[in-house]
Amino acid sequence: MRCLRAQAIGPALDLSPPLPLTAGVLDKWLAEPTRQIFLPASTFIANAKSYPVLPKGTQSFIRDIMKVSAYGQPTVAPFRD
């Protein structure tokens, strides 16, 4: 029996801080066909006006992974710790 929903299954990436600084690790993550990205509240930092923002490295990584995702754009799902 063949699973008809197999195409809907894919890896999820948890971006809990800290993000690895090694480019090799991030490149491996970019090679995965990521379906979802989880961003815990602890990932966000306060900017000059005290609004929550993502660190520049995390912003860049999310931008890159959205460009190369094999399944189209992954779902970015923030959740509370």
Quickly tell me which residue has 């970015």 as its tokens.
Answer: 76
User: Do 44 and 34 meet the contact criterion of CB atoms below 8 Å apart?
Assistant: no
Tell me the mean pLDDT in the region 30-45. Answer: 85
pLDDT of residue 13 exceeding 80, the answer is: yes
Task: Please report the pLDDT score of residue 6 as a whole number.
Answer: 58
Calpha distance 73→34 (Å, rounded):
9
pTM of the predicted model as reported, rounded to 2 decimal places: 0.69
Cross-strand pairs, 45: 53
Cα–chain center distance at 2: 30
Higher confidence at residue 39 or residue 34?
A: 39
pLDDT of residue 72 exceeding 80, the answer is: no
User: Do 23 and 31 meet the contact criterion of CB atoms below 8 Å apart?
Assistant: no
Tell me the mean pLDDT in the region 40-52. Answer: 93
pLDDT of residue 44 exceeding 90, the answer is: yes
